[in-house]
């Protein structure tokens, strides 16, 4: 009897110890909410969700990152406002969606004359790009770091219902075009508008727009854009890359233990690179899919490319003189790196 009481006492003590450990673990657990910017079918949203789950797994659940689809927590393209306010602790989005806060955000985005692929990631990670972006965002409770940018392949210039042969076809064209590219095309006579990616299919069906840019060939095939536009125009002139960046709330980041910070950065660097490589390979396959679906896949006429390049040069020369100094600092840094990169080839 005494032996049984001793055994019961030992078991109770062990159970109490387990409960105390579990309680401590529960208290130590950190939960983040993170949002992508696109619909669930967008590869960027898919990789965002994979990344969130990978962080949770890699940290043994000490940091649980709950993924949310674009527009489900805050309106589409307002993800960084939510990160700034602490509604979200992390977001994966395009810098150009934040031109209302930072005019220089369009430089590190899908824009005419931007760095492409390998060069863009190298600039961001090792030539001061991430630091310049953080300098741009000073005053906001938002930050990023090397490894957080996925360059992605060049964007499709336009999916269009109308054939584009000369500049006359650009004038008056109702087109969804975001960021600096949209502003430049507007100066060239296009009627550009801002529409979230998840609404483009319906906007084309209703006739709200005649053409649109969105993302890579691979992404756009998965969104069934072959069904709403006959022509697929390819050119790196407007957007030689389609960069997206992971951003985190500064306060949430500073509260993380150092080992969790290292894990988060390592996971993000892995998945941003993996997404880029996947989309490069998948976009090659997508060209044939669009053709087999009856689309005409065409290179943008040189007349339009040359006109866009010339207008972009004027646009950035003007803005470098009138915007805050960070604009020219980022623009000149990217341009100098691009020149050095080209010279090394």
DSSP 261-300: HHHHHHHHHHHHHHHHHHHHHHHHHHHHHHHHTT-EEEEP
pLDDT tens, position by position, 285-298: 999 999 999 999 99
Closest residue by Cα to residue 219 from 273, 154, 267, 175: 154
- Decide: 46 and 38 in contact? Cβ < 8 Å: no
CATH H-level superfamily of 156-240+288-343: Bacterial extracellular solute-binding protein, family 7 (3.40.190.170)
336 contacts: CB under 8 Å, gap ≥ 6: none
Q: So what's the pLDDT on residue 24?
A: 37
User: How many angstroms separate the CA atoms of 312 and 54, rounded?
Assistant: 40
Q: So what's the pLDDT on residue 41?
A: 85
Please give the sequence-ordered ranges of beta strands (E in DSSP) within 7-72, or none if there are none: 30-35, 63-68
Q: So what's the pLDDT on residue 25?
A: 53
Tell the residue number behind the tokens 């990789």, with chain if given: 47
Closest residue by Cα to residue 66 from 101, 19, 34: 34
Q: So what's the pLDDT on residue 185?
A: 96
Residues of the chain with CATH 3.40.190.170: 30-152+242-281, 156-240+288-343
- Specify the fold of 30-152+242-281: D-Maltodextrin-Binding Protein; domain 2 (3.40.190)
Q: So what's the pLDDT on residue 27?
A: 55
Q: So what's the pLDDT on residue 51?
A: 98
Each of the 345 residues of the chain gets a pLDDT tens digit; together they read 433 343 334 333 433 333 333 443 555 899 999 999 988 888 899 999 999 999 999 999 999 999 999 999 999 889 999 999 999 999 999 998 999 999 999 999 888 989 999 999 999 999 999 999 999 999 999 999 999 999 999 999 999 999 999 999 999 999 999 888 999 999 999 999 999 888 999 999 999 999 999 989 998 999 999 999 999 999 999 999 989 999 999 999 999 999 999 999 999 999 999 999 999 999 999 999 999 999 999 999 999 999 999 999 999 999 999 999 999 999 999 999 999 999 998
User: How many angstroms separate the CA atoms of 70 and 82, rounded?
Assistant: 12
Query: Could you write out the DSSP letters of every residue in 6-21?
Result: HHHHHHHHHHHHHHHH
Give the strand order in the sheet containing 191-193: 191-193, 174-176, 211-212, 156-160, 231-234, 296-299
Return mean pLDDT, the chain.
Answer: 91
Give the DSSP H/E element, type plus range, for residue 234.
strand 231-234
| CA dihedral sign, ordered 305, 229, 245, 154 | negative
218 contacts: CB under 8 Å, gap ≥ 6: 43, 153, 278, 279, 282, 283, 285, 286
């Amino acid at each position: 009897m005494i032996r049984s009481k001793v055994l019961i006492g030992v078991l109770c003590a062990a159970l109490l110890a387990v409960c105390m450990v579990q309680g401590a673990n529960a208290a130590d657990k950190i939960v983040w909410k993170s949002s992508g910017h696109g619909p669930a079918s967008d590869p960027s949203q898919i990789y965002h969700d994979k990344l969130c789950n990978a962080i949770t797994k890699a940290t043994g659940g000490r940091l649980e990152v709950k993924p949310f689809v674009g527009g489900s927590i805050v309106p589409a393209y307002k993800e960084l406002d939510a990160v700034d306010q602490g509604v979200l602790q992390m977001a994966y989005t395009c810098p150009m969606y934040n031109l209302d806060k930072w005019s220089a955000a369009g430089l590190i985005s899908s824009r005419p004359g931007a760095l492409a692929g390998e060069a863009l990631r190298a600039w961001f990670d090792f030539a001061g790009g991430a630091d310049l972006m953080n300098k741009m965002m000073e005053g906001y409770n938002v930050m990023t770091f090397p490894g957080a940018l996925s360059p992605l392949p060049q964007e499709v210039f336009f999916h269009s219902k109308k054939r584009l042969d000369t500049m006359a076809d650009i004038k008056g064209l109702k087109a969804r075009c975001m960021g600096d590219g949209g502003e430049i095309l507007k100066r060239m006579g296009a009627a550009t508008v801002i529409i979230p990616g998840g609404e483009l299919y319906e906007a084309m069906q209703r006739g709200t727009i005649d053409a649109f840019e969105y993302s890579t060939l691979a992404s756009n095939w998965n969104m069934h854009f072959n069904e709403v536009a006959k022509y697929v125009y390819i050119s790196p002139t407007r957007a030689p890359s389609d960069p997206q960046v992971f951003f985190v709330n500064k306060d949430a980041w500073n509260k993380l233990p150092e080992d969790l910070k290292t894990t988060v950065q390592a996971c993000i660097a892995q998945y941003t690179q993996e997404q880029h490589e996947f989309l490069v390979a998948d976009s090659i396959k997508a060209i044939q899919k669009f053709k087999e679906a009856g689309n005409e896949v065409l290179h943008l006429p040189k007349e339009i490319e040359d006109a866009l390049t010339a207008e972009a040069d004027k646009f950035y020369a003007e803005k470098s003189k009138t915007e805050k100094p960070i604009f020219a600092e980022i623009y000149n840094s990217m341009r100098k790196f691009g020149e050095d990169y080209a010279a090394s080839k």
